[in-house]
Amino acid sequence: MSIRFAVLGIDHRHAFGMTEHLTAAGATCAGWWTDGAPNTEEGFRKRFPDLPRIADRETILSDPEIALVVIAAIPRDRAALAIEAMRAGKDVMVDKPGCTTLEQLAALRRVQAETGRIWSIDFSERFEVPSVTLATKLVEEGAIGRVVQTVGLGPHRLNRATRPAWFFEREAYGGILTDIASHQIDQFLHFTGSATAEIVHAAAENCAHPGDPGLQDFGEIALRSDRGRGYIRVDWFTPDALPTWGDGRLTILGTEGYIELRKYVDVGGRVGTDTLILVNGTRCEAIDARDAGLPYFARILADVRDRTETAMPQAHAFTVMELALKAQALAEGRA
């Protein structure tokens, strides 16, 4: 029997991919609710013309046939919606960042423990990128030895004219490290096999947008764990000539080689997304990884059904957000 899910909040376009990938994995969307009229609504309706907009989110929360709730509301509102959903007996897949304050995170941990529901974050820069799937396989097979460091770069295009007002409100999006850099923290923990880490350095600045004082357009983090080290750089400086929203890259350094992922574009000349570069003792090649698959979505549906943790360990989701929030606090002089 197909697992039914519904969407709470479409304020971020990540709602599109989350809905599409869950459907492709075999789930059935019962409909969507959102607050007000976000500027994503027209595009969401165009992408999913057969999905009904549900006027009252309580209709979703009280429906016993809906097992999973997808949340892509304004970041500051995601924790409250997730708590409401878990208390209503629903599992939750939330867009990153899963929350925007340590107080919200503490409440999420408490309610998840009380209810036993799943609270999973769709880190799209890992779970919606086939080259990361292949990199995971290669690392698990020992292709580059033991991972000792990751370098994660998350550049984004600002597209200022299309951004809603909340995008420029620090309290609404949580800060650049809480928001974007949570992706790279997730990948650091995943590829080094670290249960947690120490924030060695963190910075967040508004370098070039004085007219938008709430915007942080540059951020960086240095991480250290008992398994390795990591460096993260995120920004809103993608130039207009780049044919996509950002030249996202990940380099994974091992004791016997390295992997570089050129996730969304390769300005070196290769066509398409998901170029994986592998260099070790016997191989030096660029691999087209576009067909490597996106197992997260089928796995979370299996977890909903079987009460397992194959898509993402619950502790991992909490740890990523704790580190992101602590890095944000350190960068802003609050730690």
270 band by pLDDT with thresholds 50, 70 and 90: confident
- Asked, for residue 226, whether it belongs to a domain, the answer is yes
What's the whole-number mean pLDDT along residues 15-27? 98
> Are 141 and 93 found together in one domain?
no
> Are 118 and 175 found together in one domain?
no
> Are 142 and 231 found together in one domain?
yes
| Two tokens, residue 299 | 């796995």
- Asked, for residue 287, whether it belongs to a domain, the answer is yes
- Asked, for residue 39, whether it belongs to a domain, the answer is yes
Q: Does residue 162 carry a pLDDT above 90?
A: yes
Q: What is the CATH number of the domain that holds 14?
A: 3.40.50.720
> Are 209 and 302 found together in one domain?
no
> Are 302 and 262 found together in one domain?
no
> Are 301 and 190 found together in one domain?
no
What's the whole-number mean pLDDT along residues 286-308? 98
> Are 95 and 179 found together in one domain?
no
> Are 19 and 115 found together in one domain?
yes
4 band by pLDDT with thresholds 50, 70 and 90: very high
Q: Does residue 335 carry a pLDDT above 80?
A: no
Q: What is the CATH number of the domain that holds 167?
A: 3.30.360.10
Range of lowest pLDDT (3-17, 84-98, 190-204, 257-271): 257-271
Residue 268's pLDDT is what? 81
Question: In the block, which residue shows the tokens 């790279």?
Answer: 184
52 DSSP 8-state letter: P
* Number of domains within the chain: 2
Q: What is the H or E stretch that residue 173 is in? A: helix 170-173
271 band by pLDDT with thresholds 50, 70 and 90: confident
- Asked, for residue 332, whether it belongs to a domain, the answer is no
Range of lowest pLDDT (46-55, 247-256, 261-270): 261-270
Q: What average pLDDT is seen over the chain? A: 97
1 band by pLDDT with thresholds 50, 70 and 90: confident
> Are 265 and 162 found together in one domain?
yes
| Two tokens, residue 263 | 């996730």
**For a pLDDT cut of 70, what percent of the chain falls above it?**
100
Q: Does residue 317 carry a pLDDT above 80?
A: yes
List all residues 6 or more positions away from 239 whose beta carbon is below 8 Å from its beta carbon: none
| Residue 148 CA: distances (Å) to CA of 192, 248, 258, 299 | 7, 20, 10, 28
One-letter-per-residue 3-state SS of 224-263: ECCCCEEEEEEECCCCCCCCCCCCCEEEEEECCEEEEEEC
Residues of the domain holding 26: 4-122+295-307
- Asked, for residue 194, whether it belongs to a domain, the answer is yes
- Asked, for residue 312, whether it belongs to a domain, the answer is no
- Asked, for residue 162, whether it belongs to a domain, the answer is yes
> Are 200 and 277 found together in one domain?
yes
In angstroms, the CA 250 to CA 156 distance is: 14
Query: Which pLDDT tens digit goes with each residue over 166-204?
Result: 999 999 999 999 999 999 999 999 999 999 999 999 999
